[in-house]
Structure 1
Amino acid sequence: MAPRAIWKGLLTIAEVSCPVTLHAAASTSERIAFHTLNRATGHRVRRQFIDADTGKPVDRDDQVKGYELAEGDYVMLDPEEIAAAVPESDKALAVAQFIDCQDIDDVYFDRPYYLRPASPTAEEAFALIREGMRRKKVAALARAVLFRRVRTVLIRAHGPGMIATTLNFDYEVRSAREAFSDIPATRVKGEMLDLAKHIIATKMGTFDVTAFDDRYEAALADLVKAKLEGRRIEPGKPARRENVVDLMQALRQSAGLGAKKTPARKKPASRQRKSG
């Protein structure tokens, strides 16, 4: 059974439209969550907004948003003014263009959602769009008002359904050129490159997300259980790693070849002086 839909609307491509629903593909609801308590009473504490200058609490009705122009100088915006700036939703996921799947730069990926037909009558049109994209190996770029903002969404075929991923805007993604500007150009070749390729080949596998565990979440669960049982968990010690300075030696060790030994030189035979 599909999870509860967080958005309903129409997926539109030119004159073709299909009623669809969006469902969260990732969730943090299963993570362990903590509340802040009063140590003395064990009661939950409530967050309160305090005036930075007077130190007095500020009632909810007296709270407004503010944009800082300079230090201590703000433009105040009432909730009604902010609400008026929110774009009206036409409940449409309108496809603007299709792009080759190889052209997707996943640094812009924000959050994934499952996209599925909203009803049995929409399944035929949905399947037509999905299979057309799958056969052409393309993804669709669409625009929609989601969660009070106009968002660009990347839509891809995925099994019997589709994946809709919201994209970050260009101004939200930092420049890769700036991030990598001080990394020097280094040519790697010869035995070192062959060893690196050998290590990669021995570590090849298939993606299985169940093989990766959340150690922090598991540690929190053990901690809560230990507290309930009156036990004490000692902090774990970090694993010691040998600091290998020589890169070639590290590569050989990783490849299971061990350090390459230099053959010992044979000592020259000592000459005996002839007596005569």
Structure 2
Amino acid sequence: MKGRLNMHTLWKGALSFGLVHLPIKMHAATEDKDITMRQIHRTCGSPISLLKSCTQCNQDIVTQDLVKGYEYQKNQYILFDKEELDQLLPELNKEIKIMDFVNIDEIDPIYFQKTYYLSPDNRADRSYTLLMEALKTTSKIGICKVSIRSKSSLGAIRVVNNCLVLETLYYFDEIRPIQDVPNVLINPVVDPKELAMAQSIVQLLSAEFEPTKYQDDYRNQLNDAINKKIQGEQIQYTVIQQKNNVVDLMTALQASIEALNNSTSKKTIKPKGKRKKEQTA
């Protein structure tokens, strides 16, 4: 299986299930599209450097002089060198070992962190394809552990378009209990009429998921503003008025349904000009 793009390899190791050992490479499946901004001194227009300094020694510190420290009491730290922390991670064998196979619908989405693509390495196509087909035909995913960039994570191996994918997961004790969320009712009561109207809104807004339909409006507008500033153009900003009117729930539901029905009916009506052309054709 050869990729069309030369993806950067983040991690090289092996994936194992049972006694099967599969050499793999790991690649980032997503990329951050956020626009990076520097802090600039308004007076002279120069970028500000963020230096690491020691308040005790009153001097700047280079990276080589830094170690990790855990504050076990106020202003009392135990220190760890990078080598000591690396020894605690199962990083040396570079192996992702599948421990269990489970149904994906058993995992709540709250556990998912980040996605990575896995590609076969060193002519491991046969084992790679075997695991992929086994997961597809059994509708299972593999639960594993993996160490990436000095962090140990739980993981899930699944198949996406004939590619093995690693989803890093939060550990159970990293998920905050829902019981700690304030103002959540234990036994909520819903008015049947309001529920029926809410269900109608859900039905009217129901559609198939199309990822390309959703855009980052803020990033697009910021890009446009950057280009205009580069060209020396003046930018006109729209002042957004805050809505202070309070509407009761039933009125809001009814108004939502009417607005959605009107929007739907406008989409289904053909323009008159187009209809005349069809008649004369």
Instruction: Please indicate, yes or no, whether the TM-score normalized by the shorter chain is above 0.5.
Output: yes
Query: Which 5+ residue runs of structure 2 have no aligned equivalent?
Result: 261-281
**Aligned equivalent of 1:153:** 155
State how far apart, in whole Å, the 1-side matches of 2:63 and 2:131 are: 48
| Cα distance per residue 1:72-93 (max 9 Å; x no partner) | 2222333443344343331222
**Aligned equivalent of 1:109:** 112
**Aligned equivalent of 2:68:** 65
State how far apart, in whole Å, the 2-side matches of 1:257 and 1:209 are: 25
Question: Is the aligned partner of 1:20 residue 2:24?
Answer: yes
**Aligned equivalent of 1:225:** 227
**Aligned equivalent of 1:210:** 212
The CA deviation at 1:244 is 4.5
Partner of 1:19, secondary structure, is: strand
**Aligned equivalent of 2:59:** 56
The count of aligned residue pairs is 256
User: Following superposition, which runs of at least 4 residues in structure 1 exceed 6 angstroms of deviation?
Assistant: none
State how far apart, in whole Å, the 2-side matches of 1:71 and 1:191 are: 57
The within-5 A match list for 1:194-205 is: 194-205=196-207
Q: What TM-score, normalized by structure 2, do the two folds share?
A: 0.80
**Which of the pair is proportionally richer in helix?**
2
Which residue of 9, 15, 24 corresponds with 1:11? 15
The answer on whether the counterparts of 1:11 and 1:19 sit within 8 Å (CA) in structure 2 is yes
State how far apart, in whole Å, the 2-side matches of 1:184 and 1:81 are: 46
The answer on whether the counterparts of 2:89 and 2:147 sit within 8 Å (CA) in structure 1 is no
Q: What TM-score, normalized by structure 1, do the two folds share?
A: 0.81
Partner of 2:60, secondary structure, is: coil
Which residue of 243, 246, 263 corresponds with 2:245? 243
Query: Which 5+ residue runs of structure 1 have no aligned equivalent?
Result: 259-276
Q: Tell me how large the CA RMSD over aligned residues is.
A: 2.6
The answer on whether the counterparts of 1:139 and 1:155 sit within 8 Å (CA) in structure 2 is yes
The CA deviation at 1:145 is 2.6
State, as a whole percentage, how many aligned pairs show the same letter. 25
The answer on whether the counterparts of 2:86 and 2:150 sit within 8 Å (CA) in structure 1 is no
